Amino acid sequence: MPSDTARRRCAVVGLGARARLFTAALAGPYADRVELVGFCAVNPHRMAVHNEWIGASVPAYAARDFTEMPRRERVDLVVVRTVDGTHNHYIVQALEAGCDVVTEKPMTTDADRARRILDAQRRTGREVRVAFNYRCNPVHATVRETIAAGEVGSVHFEWLLGLRHGADYFRRRHREKADSGGPMVHKAGGRRRRRGTLAGDRAGREPVLRVGRSGADPGPDRHLTFPGSLADEFRCAGGSIPAQRDEWRARWARRTRIR
C-alpha cells in the first residue's frame, strides 16, 4: 500500500488466532496508513480479545450484521480471515458495498465460488488481493535471493507434510472439504504459490525450499544442508510407529542434506 495515500478505513472479518497477524500490523506498524474501524466475527469474545491485544475499542459486529458494517463505519477496505469456504460470501458482499478486499489464501475453495468473486470484481470495479505473507519470511526471502543470484543451480521443490504437521490439518476444520476445499486447495495451493515466489522469473528453473534447520554447504555444488540428521523433522505423531518400521524416518536419518 503506498505510503503517500490517505489512511484507509479498514475492517477485519474473521477474528481467529491468525487474524492477529493482520490486526497487530494494522494497529501498529501500518497505523499511519490504515485505521481499524470494524471487527466482524461469529464469536464476540474473539473481537473483545483482539481489542484487548491492540489496546483499542474497534466497533464489533456480529457476522449476521456484516453488510451493515461498511455503511456505518464508512469502510473502504475489508480484510477477510474467515473459514476458507465462506471467503466468497464476504468478498462478494464487500465488493458490492464499494470496498476493496484483502483475503487470506486460498481466495476460495472451488470454481463456482471463484466465478462469483470474479464476476463481482468485474461488476464493481473494486480490487481483490490474496495475501501470501510467507513470501515476506526472512528465510524464504533469502532463498529467493540466493536462487535469483544464480548461486543454486538446478533446484527441486518438495514439501512433505508428514504425520505431524500434515495430520494436524485433519484434526481441525480443514478436515471438512466444504470448509477448506481439501488439502490440494488449502495446503498445496499455498505450496505452489511459494514455489512461484521462490522461482521468480528464472525460466526453466524449479525453486528449492528447504525443510528443517538452516545451514549452507561450503562446497561448490551449493546444496542447502543441515547441521545434523533430518530424521527429527519426520517424527511420527505420538511415536506410535517404531523407528525401524517408519520408512520416511529411516530414509531421512541417513541424510544431512536435501539432494
Helix/strand/coil for 13: strand
Q: For residue range 137-176, what is the model confidence (pLDDT) as tens digits?
A: 777 778 778 878 888 776 676 666 666 666 777 777 777 7
Those residues with Cβ within 8 angstroms of residue 151's Cβ, 6 or more apart along the chain or in another chain: 222
Question: Quick one: 243 and 212 in the same domain?
Answer: yes
Question: Quick one: 22 and 104 in the same domain?
Answer: yes
Q: Is 3 inside a domain boundary?
A: no
Q: Is the pLDDT of residue 233 over 50?
A: no
Give the rounded percent of residues in the chain with a pLDDT score beyond 90: 42
CB-neighbour burial class of residue 185 (10 A; exposed 0-12, middle 13-18, buried 19+):
buried
205 against 102, higher pLDDT: 102
Question: Quick one: 108 and 27 in the same domain?
Answer: yes
pLDDT for 157 equals 66
E-assigned strand segments in the chain: 8-13, 34-41, 60-62, 77-80, 100-104, 128-131
Average pLDDT of the chain, as a whole number: 75
pLDDT for 18 equals 82
Q: Is 175 inside a domain boundary?
A: yes
Helix/strand/coil for 6: coil
37 against 249, higher pLDDT: 37
Question: Quick one: 12 and 124 in the same domain?
Answer: yes
Q: How many CA atoms lie within 13 A of 64 on its CB side?
A: 0
Mean pLDDT of 75-100: 96
Mean pLDDT of 215-244: 37
Q: Which of 97, 131, 165 is the last residue of a domain?
A: 131
CATH number of the domain encompassing residue 44: 3.40.50.720
Question: Quick one: 86 and 142 in the same domain?
Answer: no
Question: Quick one: 58 and 89 in the same domain?
Answer: yes
96-105, 128-137, 173-182 — which one is most confidently predicted on average?
A: 96-105
233 against 90, higher pLDDT: 90
Q: Would you tell me how many other CB atoms lie within 10 Å of the CB of residue 202?
A: 14
pLDDT for 202 equals 44
Those residues with Cβ within 8 angstroms of residue 114's Cβ, 6 or more apart along the chain or in another chain: 88, 107, 108
Question: Quick one: 87 and 164 in the same domain?
Answer: no
Question: Quick one: 127 and 141 in the same domain?
Answer: no
CA–CA dist 213, 18 (Å, integer):
24
Question: Quick one: 120 and 215 in the same domain?
Answer: no
Question: Quick one: 111 and 180 in the same domain?
Answer: no
Q: Which of 115, 131, 147 is the last residue of a domain?
A: 131
Question: How many domains does the chain fold into?
Answer: 2
Those residues with Cβ within 8 angstroms of residue 256's Cβ, 6 or more apart along the chain or in another chain: 225, 226, 227, 228, 229, 230
Mean pLDDT of 233-252: 42
Q: Is 148 inside a domain boundary?
A: yes
Question: Quick one: 82 and 176 in the same domain?
Answer: no
Under the banding of pLDDT at 50, 70 and 90, the label for residue 52 is very high
Question: Quick one: 126 and 218 in the same domain?
Answer: no
Q: For residue range 27-51, what is the model confidence (pLDDT) as tens digits?
A: 999 999 999 999 999 999 999 999 9
Peptide bond before residue 106 is cis, with ω within 30 degrees of 0: yes
Q: Is 259 inside a domain boundary?
A: no
Q: Which of 116, 131, 146 is the last residue of a domain?
A: 131
pLDDT for 189 equals 65
Q: For residue range 174-219, what is the model confidence (pLDDT) as tens digits?
A: 777 777 777 767 666 666 666 666 666 443 333 333 333 333 333 3
pLDDT for 213 equals 31
Q: Is the pLDDT of residue 256 over 70?
A: no
Q: Is 74 inside a domain boundary?
A: yes
pLDDT for 185 equals 72
Q: Which residue range forms the structural domain that includes residue 103?
A: 8-131
168 against 237, higher pLDDT: 168
pLDDT for 147 equals 79
